[in-house]
Structure formats: C-alpha cells, structure tokens
Structure 1
Amino acid sequence: MLLAAALDGRPITDIMQWLAFPANRTPLDILRDHGHTAVAAQLKGTVEGPPETRDGIFETARQYAAALLNTEIAAWVTPQEAIAEFKPSEFVDSTDTLYLLSKDGGGGASALIAACADSVMRAATARAERTSGRLDPPMLAILDEAGNVCKISDLPQLYSHLGSRGIIPITILQSYRQGQQVWGDAGMDSMWSAATVKVVGPGIDDPDFADKLSRMVGDHDVESTSVSHSESGKSTSVSMRQERILAADAIRALPKGTALCFATGMRVAGLDMKPWYLQPGANEISTDSERASKAITQRAVAKTASAQGDFEVAA
C-alpha cells in the first residue's frame, strides 16, 4: 500500500482509508496500472485470503499506522505548500543535525520516527557506496531510547556493516533485556557482538546479564597461604587460585557516576563519568533546556484548554 500511494502521488494518510476497508481495490488498481503486477497479486492474495489471517495482518498494519490518526502528526508526513520536504538523500550530503522526538505509547509517533531514522541511515549507506565506500566526515546516529521510540527491526543486521560505511550508530537502551524484547535473543546478541564499544552503567538487576559481564571482565590469580602444624613443626605452603575480578553482585552494586567499558581488543575498563552539568557550556545548556521545557508546557496547556472548550455545554 505504501508503494501504491507513492506511485500515484497520494499522501500517506490515504493508507489509513485503505486499511479501514480491506475490500477497497484502489491500491490494487494503482499497482497494476504502474506495472507492478506481482506486488498486486501478493496484495490480492492477502485481501482475499482466510479472514482470520487477513484481519490479523490488517490490524497489525493499523496499529503501526495509528499515529496518522493524529492530524498534527500526519501533517509532518503530508506534503505542505509552505514547508520544504525533508529528503534523506540530500540530508546525508549536508553537515546538518536532525533531531527526531517522540514518545512511546498511545498517541506517539514512534513508528514514523523509526522509519525516518532508518531511511536516513539507508540513504547514508547508499551515499557511501557511491563514493569511496565511507562517509567523510562520518555520520553519527545517536538512537536514544531505541527500545521505545526507534524500533528499527533490522538494526542488528545494519550494525554489522554501518561502521565500515562511516556511519557510527550509538544505541542507548534501558537494559539488555529491553533489547531482547525488541529484537529477540539472537538479534540482541548479534548487535552486542557487532558493537565495538559497549558501555554499561549502574543499575544492572538482571542476574544472568550481570554474570555474563562478570565472566567478560575475567579472572585473576589470587595467592592463598595455608599453614599446617604437626609433630615435626609448622609448615607453610603457598598456592594460586583464580577468582573473578568483579563478581556479579559487585557489578550490580556499581555506584552512580561509574560504568564499565568493553572495547574490542582491550581489557575491560572502569570509567568515572563526568556529568553534563560539570562540562563547559553547562549554563547555556541549562538555559536552553529550561526555555524548551516552558515551551512544551505552554503548548500542553493550550492543547488541554482547547480540548476542554470543545466539550463545553452551550448556554
């Protein structure tokens, strides 16, 4: 349906109408008119298939596209005369910075955020392939709250080659288990293995993951001295045994402001983190943050007042 809308120059919001009525033949006709008969046949098979299967597929699609029901969100992905269109292929040729903000849960646009972030990284990959094979300067993709608002399904697969294209992804998760919930055990393990630098902060409450980290930190030799007494006198013996450098319970008890760094080709390092508010320019950041917070509050209050006005009883 996305392909049909693009081929016919229709806004993405038309897809919601097609999803609401699976029997609507408009996308089928568009695909056939543009020569995409195989895709049209696939869509027809889905629409005319068993009702249980069809309804499940369409309901899943409706959930992903639910953000388009919000007119304010839909406006950002609908062509506007007074607003320039964002084109990922042009963005990757610039030195601009793109900020994508959303929230998880009802009313959020996390699916659109993930789609936009994914399209930018793919455009950057294509740009790198057309040149020397790597972006210069590199592109930094910071995916904060990736498990909530930026669920790119094939992110583990992208991790295996993004670095070689000059695209540096930084994925920030609440926990290792959160990544498993989003990408599965195999996907999270693949992404963990492909990442050349892993930073783990305090608050690890997963015993299995804490034990895994403990094994990765490694063991060290500990000297053990034993003394025995007999009729002939006292004898002392020294033996060596191996012991975990950092036990799982010690990892769980990491103090705030510290972290463990696992980098390829290096032994594990302990880090003392420096808070942003102790960095140069912290005052400027605080001022900007306060101004942005006030603006968000004002918009939320205005939206609430408008919604309440819609339900006032006429005199």
Structure 2
Amino acid sequence: MAGNDDDDVYVVFIGIGFVSALLGGVSSFLTWLAGQLSGVLSGGGWPDSSPTDCLRITYNLLRHPNDPRSAWPPAAAAALGSAPIFFALLAVMLLATALGAYILIRLLLNWRRHRTFRRLRLGFASGWEVRKLLSARTVQSKAAQVRPSTQSLPSRSVKPEQVGFYIGRDIRSRRKLYASLEDTAIVVAAPRQGKDVHFVTPFTIDAPGPCIVTSSRRETFINTAMVRAQFGEVYVFDPYNWTGWPNRMRWSPLQGCEDPNVCAVRSGTLVQSSGFDIGHEGGSTLSGIVTIIRCLLHAGAIGRLNFREVMRWIYEANGEEALEILRQGEREGRTAPGYPGALEFSMRNESLWSGVIQVMSCFSQPEVLDDCTPDPGEEFDFKKFLQGRNTLYFVSKKQSDWGGIAPIVTTIIEQYFRSARGTAMKNPTGRLDPPLTIELNQVADICPLGGLATYMGESGGYSISLHVYLTSLAEARRVWGSDGAASLWDNATVKIISGGSGTAKDLSDLSDLVGKHDGKQILSPEELRTMPFGRAAVVAGTARPVEMWLTPWWKRKDRDAIARGKAAAEAMIHKMHAGQQAGIASTHDAAVAGDDDSDASAIVW
C-alpha cells in the first residue's frame, strides 16, 4: 500500500510549531534574564522573580513596551533597572545567542559532512523531492498515461502496484518509493547481495501484465512460478529441464524468417552474442558468416523445413540444398532479392563455414535442438502471451565457452522486444496494455543484447518496464564496451546501487554517479562497498540520491503465499529428479538381472 503523501506537510507544520515554541521560550527567558541583570547593574539587587515568570513578563512587555517595570511582578518591579539599561542588555543577549546558534549550526553542518552516521548527511533528496518523483501519488498520477485502460478511473483509486513497482523505503523521510511502469531501471549488486530477493522476485510477482524473466539459476523461478500461475499461463524455456515445468516454451529460429528483415536481425544477433568481434575476425569474415547464416535461415523458412534440416546443412558445411531452395523461391517470387547470389558467393570461401559452425554450436546439444525444433502448432505464440498476465522464464546455464545457449536466449529476447514494440505501435495509444515487464537477470552472461542501451532509452514509451541487473560496471564494460556501458547507465531512468561489489575504479565511478554536495561525495566509495545487506542507494530522474531500506520477499504481506508456492515448486523439482534417479536405477537393475547375452556396455552412464 502507498504511504500517506501528506506526511511531509504534517512534518513541516510540526517543525514550524516546534521551532516557534523554542524561539519563543528562549526569547522569553532572555527577556526575564535581561531584566534581572538590569536590577543588579543599577544597584537595586536581584529582583524577586523566578524564571517561571518569563512567559507572563514577555506577554506584559509586548503590551507595554515603553514601561518594562510594569511587566514584572510588583514585588520585583522596584528593583528593576532603567528601560535603556534593560533594552541594551536584551539586545546584547539576543545577538550573543543568535551568534552562538549560528556557530553551532555551522559546526553541526560540518559534522554532517564528515559523519559516519549518514542519517543527517547533506546532499540526499528531501522529502519533497521524494514525493515529487518517487512517491505512490506520482506513479498514480501517471496511470492514464502508462495504462490507458485506467483513463476512466480517478487516479487515486488506481493502486500504485497497478502502475508501478515498489522499490524500497526512504531512510530519512520513511516514505515508500515507487518506480513507474515507464521507468527503465538498472540494478548494480554484487553476488549474494539480494538482488533476487529484493528486486527480481518482487518485481516478477507484482508485474501487472505479461512478464519475461531471464536467469542462470532457478531461484527466481522457484520463488515466483506458482504465484504467477494464479494470474495466467506460465511458460519455461528450460532445455536442460532444471525446473521440471510441464508447460515448455518451444521456439524455432526459422520463425518469421520468410521476412528478410527478420533474417538479417536474427543472424546478426546470433553472431554478435556468440562473441565474434570485427576487430578480431575482420569485416569480410564477419560479413561472410552473417550472410551464410542469414541465407540458410531464409531458405529453411521458405522451404517449410524444420530447424534440424538447417542444422544438418551446417554440420555438413554444405549449402547446396539451401541454394537450390533459394533459386526455386526466386523463380516463384518467394525469395528475397539477392539471397541466392549472396549465398553462392559466400560459400566459395570454405573457411567461413568454421565460423558458421562455431556460431551455431549453441544449438548442438540434443535437448536444446529439440526445444528449437517444435512441431507445427507447438511454437510459442508471443502475441497471445502479451494479452494476459502470463509469465515466461528463461532458465539457462551460465556459460562463456562455445556451446552455451546465451546466443539463443539473446536472439529470442531480441525478437520479442521488436514484436512487443511493433504491437504497441499498432495500438491507438502507442502503448501495451497490459504493460510488459522484462527482468533481465544475469544479463551479461545469458542475454548480452547488443541494442540493450537503445531499448533502455525507448522501452518506457511503449509501456515496457525493463529492469537490468549487473554485478558490476566492469561486467557491463566487458560486454558492451566503455561507451556502451555508459550509454546503458545514462538511458536508465532509475539507477539502484547495492553494496559489496566493485573495483576501486568502479566504486569511485559509482560514488561520482551518486553525486556530490559542496564538492564532497555524498556516498564515498568505501561507504558504497560496505553498504549492508538490505540497503541501497537510488538515483532517479532529477532527484538527488536516496538511501533506502529494501524489503525482501519474506517480509511482504503475501509472504505466506510465496512460501507455499516456493515449497510446491521445490517439491515438484524433487519429485522429478527422484523419478529420474528411479528410472536410471531400474534400468541398471534390469541390465544386471538379464541373461548372459545382455549387452551391459550399451548403457550410457
């Protein structure tokens, strides 16, 4: 639930009242003290009055400022000094007090800048800034824009979770912080610093529309799959069957490749995400590899073949069948212009085939190839997926060597980005409704999209909430280069930095990105590195940085439902693996119990 957005107003009025009372009390006491001292200086002695009379004396003096004696009790009035002496003393005491308060405030501010205790530190966003950019009311005010279907509803009746994501609570104002659906976020958190429990799991559960999640571990799937299954269909791209989920997502690289534009994007994505670089391979070599893959995909699509046939051409390093299909299609007007000639020319350079085989090695494992060769009617329907609160998980190995399936995941996500954007542009509002959420966890390892920085900059305008997770800035530079990593950071409207990670340079860069106050870093590199589990700094829009408490999923109101879903998912996986072990054991026992003619060597361990 959203916090009360009038908290700041109450705090301001309470603060004004407290300061006014304090100033009034101090002034009254100084007025009384000046009168008492005037009596001593005039020779009349200490007037018979106590500090408890100060408020009444001040009130009487304001009524009769020309006659100070009339303000004191009658027993003390005779001993009071003259009016000039009284007012001179009062002026000196007020000035001395003001000067002392000024010096004390300066010392306090200086202490705040050198503090180890950060609660009172200068440079962080005020409650007003938080309210303006990150409050529940702010995301509610954008409801009609980010979710056109809510236009007929009063903005305050729309729950903030319907149009935004809860990200944490401001340590200083204690206000709940929300990011809008049109915000793109980048989270930098070291391993074991809770990005799954604080962000990926809650964001996946709270996604108000379809949600795509990538991960090299099954933790997010276990935490969220059963809960998300209550809202819509749950699909899993899991070639290694880590999850045991029955609703498998199957996808063919030939899908849509009748269109030459799709072929061009897909072949380029496969090559780029496979680790090929123009600086190492050379422009002509890279172009030849892309051309062969592009033409083979196009030939397989217009020839109505399954993907196994295309992989057979690649394994055999022979594109003659594909060339004949392209020529036949050219005669019938089904082939994109120039494809037969481009394939024939590139095939003359036999050395290019080694590059093609290397790129397509991500499909080499039988279980991967099986999931990428669906039967007719089994292919995943992404347009239908966008229509409900459905969920698609990509659970794959974290591999940097050849044969990892990161190029496949990257290619699929690239296709779905473009498809979602195209669907949004066809809508009258130019947005997706329900909105799409994409959680790119371990993005550098299993989904290194070359155009990710561009998508970060434009996705929000289509109501696509894109959240990218990195372990460090160095990881981003490794995949996208220095300029690409900088662009990725710049295009994110919300930047969240957790503790425990980074080299000295990365920590210094992050500290500079958080910002400075009067030339001094608001959060030093050491403070960023040692930020405890459950805290993070967030920089959003034009607001100054906010330090926030994070909420793990086990502290949410729906934690019991999440825990039950997690237990059910773990039981499902345990049952699956127990069945597999029983199957292996029974096969082994049958072989041992067989007659002497049984071929035990045929069993594969």
Q: Note if 1:207 corresponds to 2:504.
A: yes
Task: Report the alpha carbon displacement of residue 43 of structure 1 after superposing the two structures with TM.
Answer: 2.3
Cα distance, 1:110–1:166 mapped onto 2, change above 3 Å = same
Residue 304 of structure 2: aligned partner: 9
> What is the TM-score when the length of structure 2 is the normalising length?
0.44
Q: Note if 1:282 corresponds to 2:559.
A: yes
Residue 455 of structure 2 aligns to a residue whose secondary structure is: helix
> Considering only aligned residues, what root-mean-square deviation do their CA atoms show, in Å?
2.6
**Length, aligned pairs only:** 289
Question: For each residue in 1:217-238, what CA deviation from the matched residue of structure 2 results, as whole angstroms up to 9, or x when unmatched?
Answer: 33334xxxxxxxxxxxxxxxxx
How many percent of aligned residue pairs carry the same amino acid?
25
Q: Given residue 48 of structure 1, which amino acid in structure 2 is its aligned partner? A: R
Does the 8 A contact of 2:362 with 2:404 survive in 1?
no
Query: Of the candidates 505, 509, 521, which is equivalent to residue 244 of structure 1?
Result: 521
Residue 439 of structure 2 aligns to a residue whose secondary structure is: strand
Question: For each residue in 1:291-315, what CA deviation from the matched residue of structure 2 results, as whole angstroms up to 9, or x when unmatched?
Answer: 2223323434544665674896746
Residue 395 of structure 2: aligned partner: 101
Does the 8 A contact of 1:260 with 1:269 survive in 2?
yes
Take 1:282 and 1:171, find their aligned partners in 2: how far apart are those partners? 24
Q: Given residue 276 of structure 1, which amino acid in structure 2 is its aligned partner? A: W
Residue 114 of structure 1 aligns to a residue whose secondary structure is: helix
Query: Of the candidates 336, 360, 363, which is equivalent to residue 62 of structure 1?
Result: 360
Does the 8 A contact of 2:363 with 2:369 survive in 1?
no
Take 2:584 and 2:487, find their aligned partners in 1: how far apart are those partners? 46
Aligned counterparts, 1:156-305, within 5 A: 156-221=453-518, 242-303=519-580
Q: Given residue 325 of structure 2, which amino acid in structure 1 is its aligned partner? A: I
Task: Report the alpha carbon displacement of residue 259 of structure 1 after superposing the two structures with TM.
Answer: 0.7
Question: For each residue in 1:270-299, what CA deviation from the matched residue of structure 2 results, as whole angstroms up to 9, or x when unmatched?
Answer: 111111111122122122222222332343
Take 2:315 and 2:583, find their aligned partners in 1: how far apart are those partners? 28
Please, which runs of 5 or more residues in structure 1 have no aligned partner? 222-241
Between Structure 1 and Structure 2, the one with more strand by share is: 1
Cα distance, 1:7–1:176 mapped onto 2, change above 3 Å = same
Query: Of the candidates 372, 377, 380, which is equivalent to residue 77 of structure 1?
Result: 372
Point out which structure has higher relative CO (alpha carbons under 8 A, 6+ apart). Answer: 2
Take 2:374 and 2:515, find their aligned partners in 1: how far apart are those partners? 56
Please, which runs of 5 or more residues in structure 2 have no aligned partner? 1-295, 331-335, 593-598, 601-605
Take 1:45 and 1:163, find their aligned partners in 2: how far apart are those partners? 43
Q: Note if 1:125 corresponds to 2:440.
A: no
Q: Note if 1:116 corresponds to 2:412.
A: yes
Take 1:153 and 1:117, find their aligned partners in 2: how far apart are those partners? 11
Residue 114 of structure 2: aligned partner: none
Question: For each residue in 1:239-279, what CA deviation from the matched residue of structure 2 results, as whole angstroms up to 9, or x when unmatched?
Answer: xxx42222111111111111111112111111111111111
Q: Given residue 571 of structure 2, which amino acid in structure 1 is its aligned partner? A: K
> What is the TM-score when the length of structure 1 is the normalising length?
0.81
Between Structure 1 and Structure 2, the one with more helix by share is: 2
Cα distance, 1:97–1:273 mapped onto 2, change above 3 Å = same
Take 1:89 and 1:3, find their aligned partners in 2: how far apart are those partners? 22
Q: Note if 1:25 corresponds to 2:320.
A: yes
Does the 8 A contact of 2:396 with 2:405 survive in 1?
yes
Cα distance, 1:143–1:299 mapped onto 2, change above 3 Å = same
Question: For each residue in 1:1-41, what CA deviation from the matched residue of structure 2 results, as whole angstroms up to 9, or x when unmatched?
Answer: 22221111211222221111122311112222222351222
Cα distance, 1:7–1:286 mapped onto 2, change above 3 Å = same
Question: For each residue in 1:124-183, what CA deviation from the matched residue of structure 2 results, as whole angstroms up to 9, or x when unmatched?
Answer: 100111123222232111112212222323222222222212212111122222222222
